[in-house]
Every structure is written in C-alpha cells, then in structure tokens.
Amino acid sequence: MHTKLTLRVDERLIQRAKAYSRRTGKSVSQLVADYFAILDTPVDAELQDLPPITRALSGILAGTEPVDEEEYHRYLEEKYR
C-alpha cells in the first residue's frame, strides 16, 4: 500500500534530489523509500559509525578469491607503462 507523505525540505536540497533522480532513473519518492528502508536494516556494532554509503559497501567482496599481490603489481606495471 502506498501512502502520500509531505516533506518540508530546503529548495536547494530538492533541486539536488531531482537532479540525482534524473541521473539514476529513480523517482525522488523511490529514493526516499530506499533511504527509509536502510534505516530499518540492523547494523553490526562495528559498522554503526560508518557513513551509509560505506556501510552499504561493507562485505560486498565477501566470498571472492583474494588477488595475488605480485600478480596485481604486474597488472599495474603493464597498465601504466
């Protein structure tokens, strides 16, 4: 069920939100709904003080194979020659 919500927000912030909405293809309503959903997500104590974007990225690489350090150095040397 969707319910209308009226918010009072600074005009500059509204313009920034609308610009971000256009760039991402999400409505401002969806952006607000996504943010509200994050507020209800339980957070580990160690992640509590991180900014929301950083917190959202936490664990994103879990389960991936570690990169060999020497291989990575070779990759960078080739890339920046």
Residue (of 31, 30, 58, 33) closest to 43 by Cα position = 58
Residue 42 is predicted with a pLDDT of 67
The residues spanned by each domain of the chain are 11-79
pLDDT for 49: 80
Straight-line distance from the first to the last Cα atom of the chain, in angstroms, rounded to the nearest whole number = 57
Find all residues with CB under 8 Å of 17, minimum gap 6, and list them.
9, 28, 31
Tell me if the pTM is above 0.85: no
- 50 touches 58 (CB < 8 A): yes
Residues 6+ apart with CB under 8 A from 21: 27, 28, 31
Which stretches of the chain score pLDDT less than 50?
Answer: none
